[in-house]
């Protein structure tokens, strides 16, 4: 095949009969095809002009590897893999009938909170399966969620997924941003560390779009869009449509600029969304007991000088900001201090050592800006979770400080 040339309908290639071109993207074309007269399949073929580009070929191979790693009802399995006579790699999958979520919103408008929850059950389930295998999707958006006519919800396009636990498999090129700017997290846009919370950010964007029919940010250029995602205040869905404050909270938490302020995982986000959409079910859920680590900041009396009060609280906010990337949640903050808490697997959880190191680093600067008598304590103990949210526990009581 010549560059930019597509396979003509009726052609026989690699044992497949090509019937029609279904779509063309930046890396490949998708055709409706059959093999040996069997059922129709979707055949994805890398553009021949990209064969000389190692990054493109690697991404195509990575998508195959990622999909074959996953076993989830919302991720289509690959039926066949091969190479066409001209050298272009391909893979074949079930041909779906339906439309993607982007087109669905364009045609039908915004979704009800209940419909959002139903779709997110499938999307979050697929992402949990991916994250459990060290795979971050990095391109969650409406056009990559397919609504099949048989009511299945399928998460598509793992072509830019990051395999976080496989050496040599992070294929982001120098100065290249991977993903879709309309739904990219601040850390993606700035070239920062990518982990599962990057996908959680995109889940927040996607939920906002489903609830309102619009993206949270629109801009005339990628540069302005980049700035909005990295710095702008998070818009509330309720500013555009009549939804609850609980939905506002879970959506904006997911879109937090700092990864540590977002729900820790798609499952945690889903529990929060379920609680916001179906509060009566959440009220009946039992509390879950978990071990956790807590950092308690106790400010000494600040006096009446406005400058000293402002300086102390600025120092406190800076100290808390150092802990948020570790995944700690700010449970309370007031004139007397603050509590930051994170569940842990056990006393030997690596997070415990990371938190202790962070506190050792921040303590001198904090105490230098605050009155004598201010303390910073690290402790562990029991907390209670409900729908993935901290709702209390002995560790949150000041009497448990040590």
Q: Which residues contact 20 (CB under 8 A, 6 or more apart)?
A: 9, 31, 32
127: left (phi over 0), alpha (psi -120 to 50) or beta: alpha
Helix or strand or coil: residue 93?
Answer: strand
Q: Which residue has the tokens 């939804």?
A: 243
Q: What is the pLDDT of residue 365?
A: 85
Q: How many CB atoms lie within 10 A of CB 222?
A: 13
> How are beta strands 153-155 and 135-136 bridged, if at all?
unpaired
Sequence ranges of the domains in the chain: 12-94, 98-284, 288-400
How far apart, in whole angstroms, are the C-alpha atoms of residue 104 and residue 81? Answer: 31
* Digit-coded pLDDT (tens) for 349-358: 888 888 899 8
Class of domain 12-94: alpha beta
| Average pLDDT for the chain | 84
Range 288-400: architecture per CATH: 2-Layer Sandwich (3.30)
Q: Which residues contact 214 (CB under 8 A, 6 or more apart)?
A: 240
* Digit-coded pLDDT (tens) for 6-17: 899 999 988 899
Please list the active-site residues.
139
The C-alpha angle with vertex 266 and arms to 251 and 124, in degrees rounded to 5, equals 100
Which CATH superfamily includes the segment(s) 98-284?
Transferase(Phosphotransferase) domain 1 (1.10.510.10)
Helix or strand or coil: residue 345?
Answer: coil
Stretches in the chain below the pLDDT threshold 70: 1-4, 164-179, 280-285, 302-308, 335, 386-389, 391, 397-402
How far apart, in whole angstroms, are the C-alpha atoms of residue 43 and residue 187? Answer: 34
Q: Are 154 and 194 in contact (CB under 8 A)?
A: no
Q: Which two tokens stand for residue 265?
A: 């995982």
Q: What is the pLDDT of residue 36?
A: 82
pTM: 0.70
Nearest to 56 by CA among 66, 67, 68, 45: 45
Task: Look at the chain and count its residues.
Answer: 402
Q: What is the pLDDT of residue 168?
A: 34
């Amino acid at each position: 095949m010549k560059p930019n040339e597509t396979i003509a309908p009726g052609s026989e290639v690699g044992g497949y009969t090509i019937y029609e071109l279904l779509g063309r993207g930046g890396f490949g074309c998708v055709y409706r095809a059959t093999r040996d007269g069997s059922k129709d399949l979707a055949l994805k073929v890398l553009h021949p002009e990209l064969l000389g580009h190692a990054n493109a070929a690697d991404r195509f191979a990575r998508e195959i590897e990622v999909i074959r790693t996953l076993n989830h009802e919302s991720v289509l399995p690959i039926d066949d893999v091969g190479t066409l006579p001209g050298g272009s790699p391909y893979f074949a999958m079930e041909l779906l009938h339906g439309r993607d979520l982007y087109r669905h919103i364009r045609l039908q408008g915004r979704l009800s909170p209940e419909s959002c929850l139903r779709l997110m059950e499938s999307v979050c389930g697929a992402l949990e399966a991916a994250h459990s295998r060290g795979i971050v999707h990095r391109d969650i958006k409406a056009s990559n969620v397919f609504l099949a006519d048989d009511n299945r919800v399928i998460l598509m396009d793992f072509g830019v997924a990051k395999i976080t636990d496989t050496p040599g498999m992070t294929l982001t090129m120098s100065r290249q941003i991977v993903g879709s700017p309309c739904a990219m997290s601040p850390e993606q846009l700035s070239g920062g560390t990518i982990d599962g919370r990057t996908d959680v950010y995109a889940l927040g964007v996607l939920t906002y779009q489903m609830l309102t029919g619009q993206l949270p940010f629109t801009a005339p250029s990628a540069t302005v869009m980049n700035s909005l995602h990295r710095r702008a205040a998070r818009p509330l869905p309720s500013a555009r449509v009549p939804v609850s404050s609980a939905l506002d909270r879970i959506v904006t938490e997911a879109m937090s600029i700092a990864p540590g302020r977002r729900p820790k995982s798609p499952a945690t986000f889903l529990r929060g969304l379920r609680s916001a959409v179906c509060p009566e079910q959440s009220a009946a859920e039992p509390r879950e007991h978990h071990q956790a680590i807590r950092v308690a900041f106790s400010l000494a009396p600040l006096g009446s000088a406005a400058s000293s009060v402002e300086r102390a609280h600025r120092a406190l906010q800076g100290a808390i900001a150092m802990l948020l990337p570790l995944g700690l949640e700010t449970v309370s903050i007031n004139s007397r201090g603050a509590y930051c808490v994170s569940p842990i697997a056990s006393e030997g959880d690596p997070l415990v050592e990371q938190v202790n190191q962070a506190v050792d680093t921040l303590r001198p600067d904090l105490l230098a800006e605050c009155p004598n008598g201010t303390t910073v304590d690290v402790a562990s103990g029991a907390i209670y979770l409900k729908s993935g949210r901290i709702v209390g526990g002995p560790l949150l009581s000041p009497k448990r400080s040590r």
